[in-house]
Amino acid sequence: MKKIFLILYLFFSIFLYSYRIFITPSYELADFIEEKIIISNNIKFVSLSLNAPFLSMLNNKNNVEGFIEFNMYDIKSNNILPDKNIEGYLHEKFMIFDNKSVLFGTGNFTSGSIFEDLNVYIYTEDQAITSLFLKEFQNFQNGKFGKNKNIDNKSIYSKDIGKVIFITGPSKNIYSAINNFILSSKKFLYIFTYSFTDGRILYSFEKLSSINVDVKIIADSWNEKFVSNLKYLKGIEYKILKKYRNMHLKLLVNEYGLLLGSYNLTYRAREKNDEYILIIYNKDIRQILLDLFNKLWNQ
């Protein structure tokens, strides 16, 4: 009887815990997206930009709705539309399949993001998480972008991933959540950032470092070419990662959990862009991304 129970438990666990993590560059992710597009009857997506091979996959399929950044909009489509955030960018990245599952992360649906850049994407079939992204998509369907949209700030318990906090911006909520996560670190805070220009975040990093919290940053070479807060850091180690076309991750990891999403550590992300973050308290996901940080740092 115990053996039968164990077999049944393992069988159903496959379906209960259905998330997948992809770290790019990844041809596996590209194949996964193509397969999901083919088998899905309805697709909703948001991306800063869109190009081959995903553009043709989505543009040639029925029942597709999507939004991309106005300044990146160079396609002809009745179903893929430009955003209406005049002050900032549509910087979010997610794709919903049949209103039942979602792929989200730090990269866009472009060849560069998936084949050349360092990004992380998470796929889940958890309806609680999918519903959060559906609600955000409804903002865009209703023509609500930027400061005109309904801001979400919700804590849920996902059967798939565990405790998750989901927050959208531009809003005071999204910055407060990021800052609170930073200041909650007691032992260490490791950061992946593409660009870093927000002085408030700089202050919080240095505050942690002053009380002997181990703060380390892996950043993109963007920060060498443009005005960046990296040059003002005191007592904090950082490394510029040039292994990839872009070090495009937006991720904070501490001893409690991880924070990821579309949000760069910039003034524009805080005040103007359509952004989202998820704070995830899942030990397995946290460990995967912590191991990634340590591996790249030690290289």
Lowest mean pLDDT among 8-22, 91-105, 238-252: 8-22
pTM, entire model: 0.92
pLDDT value of residue 117: 98
pLDDT value of residue 160: 86
> Comparing 135 with 10, which gets the higher pLDDT?
135
Q: What is the mean pLDDT of residues 68-79?
A: 91
Q: What is the mean pLDDT of residues 148-157?
A: 97
Q: Is the pLDDT of residue 259 over 50?
A: yes
pLDDT value of residue 83: 97
pLDDT confidence bin for 194, thresholds 50/70/90: very high
pLDDT confidence bin for 12, thresholds 50/70/90: very low
Q: Is the pLDDT of residue 1 over 80?
A: no
CA 41 to chain centre: 25
pLDDT confidence bin for 60, thresholds 50/70/90: confident
Average pLDDT, the chain: 94
d(CA 51, CA 244): 19
Q: Is the pLDDT of residue 7 over 50?
A: no
Q: What is the per-residue pLDDT across 36-47, written as a single tens digit (0 to 9) for each?
A: 999 999 999 999
φ, ψ of residue 45 in degrees (nearest 5): -145, 160
Which tokens hold the place of 211? 């009380």
Q: Is the pLDDT of residue 173 over 70?
A: yes
d(CA 262, CA 277): 7
Q: What is the per-residue pLDDT across 196-222, written as a single tens digit (0 to 9) for each?
A: 999 999 999 999 999 999 999 999 999
Residue pair 149/141 in contact (Cβ under 8 Å)? The answer is no
Lowest mean pLDDT among 71-75, 183-187, 278-282, 283-287: 71-75
Enclosing H/E stretch for 267: helix 267-271
pLDDT value of residue 79: 92
pLDDT confidence bin for 13, thresholds 50/70/90: very low
Q: What is the mean pLDDT of residues 26-36?
A: 98
d(CA 202, CA 284): 29
Cα dist. 105→32, 109, 299 in Å? Answer: 15, 10, 24
Note the residue count of the chain.
Answer: 299
pLDDT confidence bin for 164, thresholds 50/70/90: very high
pLDDT value of residue 75: 87
Q: Is the pLDDT of residue 4 over 90?
A: no
φ, ψ of residue 263 in degrees (nearest 5): -85, 115
Domains of the chain as residue ranges with CATH: 19-148 (3.30.870.10), 153-298 (3.30.870.10)
pLDDT value of residue 18: 80
Q: What is the mean pLDDT of residues 67-82?
A: 92
Query: What share of the chain in percent tops pLDDT 90?
Result: 89
pLDDT value of residue 76: 85
φ, ψ of residue 55 in degrees (nearest 5): -60, -50
Query: What share of the chain in percent tops pLDDT 70?
Result: 94
φ, ψ of residue 232 in degrees (nearest 5): -100, 0
Q: Residue 255: beta bridge partners?
A: none
Residue located via tokens 């999204």: 174
pLDDT value of residue 17: 54
